[in-house]
Structure 1
Amino acid sequence: MAILRQTNYDRQVATWLILCAVVIFGMIILGGVTRLTDSGLSMVEWRPLMGIIPPLTEEAWLEVFEKYRQSPEYLQINRGMSLDAFKTIFMYEYLHRVLGRLIGVLFFFPMLYFGLRGRVRSGLMPKLWLLFLLGACQGLLGWYMVKSGLVDVPYVSQYRLAAHLGLAALIFAFMLWLIFELLAGRPAKGSTPHPLARWGLVMLGLVYLMILSGALVAGTNAGFAYSTWPLMGPSFIPPGLYSGDPAWLDAFEDITTIQFNHRIFAYLLFVLLHIFAIKLWRTGLGNRARVTAVLLLVVLWLQVIIGINTLLHHVPVILGAAHQGGAMLLLAVTLYAVFLLRRGTPGRS
């Protein structure tokens, strides 16, 4: 009876975490839209508590617009911008910040409820608190990123952007792992990880690094440099790669090198994930493993197609946002494959 009750509680907690994960996924996409519309520097103040209320009167709008007009972005890029145009970019950033606060509320209070009611399985509560702490750090990191574009140069640091997106992906993946554990139940006695699990972890790490590579592309606007594929301009290998001083710094700051690295990384990952999916299909772990292998290839191909079209169409907002969302889906499917391999329990299909 107690086992059945805990199983029911696990499903309740998992349902709540699924809702949180879906909202986080939307938050990541909205963050991409904010970046693609150059809206991230429209709010020059960080008011964690009072910032929930947007300007409601014309006088309030003029006040926040006047603060923006003192920023480097307005003075160097958007000088002469109308109030109506400012309202558009402001609302993207405002919604992004408000959604972040909503996620905090959506996570914190149900966590307290489930914890106080004794519905959280043993060992899970510290992980939930860690998730909450990571979420708080993400908010601070977001403002730290924005601040980099409010002084002198009106562009956020690509390093801080990569850290911000990287932490978001980490939180998303951590939450998904807890969901997988809650829904799958305790592993069978005597089960051991499948030998392919180690390769799965490598694939997961490479997908995560690919996401960080994409953040460097976004942070430097390297996606606009070459709108051709498979060539970059007239050749596959463009001139000027790693020509800086020091040369290694070009991997993080030279737009040609950054885009080239992102492409080569994508080709490598494309091949490796195909091999991994085939091996996953052949593991004998049941239908879940085979379905996951197929889903991995479907998401991978969609991500590649979206990425190529994003380049060819000069990074339109809808394709750029879809590409960022596709990266999160690829991370999620790869993570689930690793989960299945680490449980290593055949017949659970």
Structure 2
Amino acid sequence: MFVNSDNYIKYLKLWLITLFSLIVLMVAVGGLTRLTDSGLSITAWELFTGILPPLNTSEWNFYFSEYKKIPEYQNINFGMALDEFKVIFYWEYVHRLLARFVGLFTLVPLLFFSLYFKNNRSYSNKYYWIFFLVCLQGFIGWYMVSSGLIENNDVSHFRLSIHLSLALFILCLIFWYILDIYKIERFDKKIPNLLLVFILKLIVLQIVLGAFLSGLDGGLIYNSWPDMNGSFFPNDVGYKDVINSQLLSNPSIVQFLHRLTAYLLLFFIIILNFIYFKKKYDFKYLLFFDLAILIQIFLGIVTLISGVEIKYASLHQLGSILVLSSYFLILYKNSN
């Protein structure tokens, strides 16, 4: 039986870093699945089946016939050939296969740690939160897919935002655990928590609005910057649209809010930089966050101007991980 604390810490570090990398990969594949409109190609929640892809013509025809029953095929992809269906099928299949692997890679090491290191003073059950959230993420993934199987041509952008937000939350939790286990030193001088929390809320809001925009295909309109086809406010929106209950289902308004939040976030980050400079805080961690923000802004503009070209849109989504990770490093170092 392993009792060495060093072994436990070594295995824990390896597990957390690998799990973080796997979920980053899964977010990337999930984003590409969305961008290629592949998420509804598998119409059943195959929790214990579907591990292998279709292996013969009969199985392919079955999956294709099920896809033909949903609105996306009937209203958008009617007449799609089987070979075309296979492309979108494999995107969703790989995404689900990765999800299964992440689930197993989360649970099995946890059981190993519980079995061999439970009596070790460094052992903690807190890491089971990761497994719980991964399971919840699987359920929300199906909850999202189910919204596009009966009446809608696509998944609900609200459910899509929950799915993405939870994935990023899991990543941040794992990253926090990694920082903790590496015993990263805290700042001697603390930054005002009110400002840090407010900026975090703006980052989260920006990510949610980005998910709304993706779910509504709102990046395909107003492909100019800094104006929106010559004006600050979208010209296809009236007063009644702004006060309508469907405000967050209007792609023009959501794109405007996404832009506006970016400007607001940048303003408060400038204030944060000023405080760092004035108080003579350790600047290197903030510079890394600043760089992540600038890269994300650049990718956002390029994605918009390109008409949501997949390679830029995918990088823009992954950029949110870099932004959150670099900011959570600041939050961690500012914590008690």
Fold conserved between structures, TM > 0.5:
yes
Q: Match for residue 304 of structure 1?
A: 297
Q: Match for residue 326 of structure 2?
A: 333
Q: Match for residue 22 of structure 2?
A: 23
Q: Match for residue 346 of structure 1?
A: none
SS class of match (1:117): helix
Give 5+ residue unaligned stretches, structure 2: none
In structure 2, the CA distance between the partners of 1:122 and 1:310, relative to structure 1 (3 Å rule), is farther
TM-score by length of 2: 0.92
Q: Match for residue 153 of structure 1?
A: 152
1:1-349 pair list within 5 angstroms: 6=5, 9-118=8-117, 125-184=124-183, 194-241=190-237, 243-244=239-240, 247=243, 249-280=245-276, 289-343=282-336
TM-score by length of 1: 0.89
Contact 1:27 1:100 in 2 (8 A): yes
Contact 1:9 1:120 in 2 (8 A): no
1:230 Cα deviation (Å)?
0.7
1:250 Cα deviation (Å)?
4.5
Which string of whole-angstrom CA distances, capped at 9 and with x for unpartnered residues, describes residues 181-228 of structure 1? 11116x78xx98814344223222221121111011011111111111
Alignment: residue pair count: 334
Greater mean deviation of Cα atoms: 116-125 or 295-304: 116-125
One-letter identity of the residue aligned with 1:205:
K
In structure 2, the CA distance between the partners of 1:276 and 1:94, relative to structure 1 (3 Å rule), is same
One-letter identity of the residue aligned with 2:314:
A
Identity of matched residues, %: 33
In structure 2, the CA distance between the partners of 1:195 and 1:291, relative to structure 1 (3 Å rule), is closer
Q: Distance in 2 between matches of 1:221 and 1:124?
A: 46
Contact 1:244 1:250 in 2 (8 A): no
CA RMSD of aligned residues (A): 2.3
Greater mean deviation of Cα atoms: 58-67 or 90-99: 58-67
Q: Distance in 2 between matches of 1:52 and 1:313?
A: 36
Which string of whole-angstrom CA distances, capped at 9 and with x for unpartnered residues, describes residues 29-62 of structure 1? 1111111100011111111111211111122111
Q: Distance in 1 between matches of 2:124 and 2:136?
A: 18
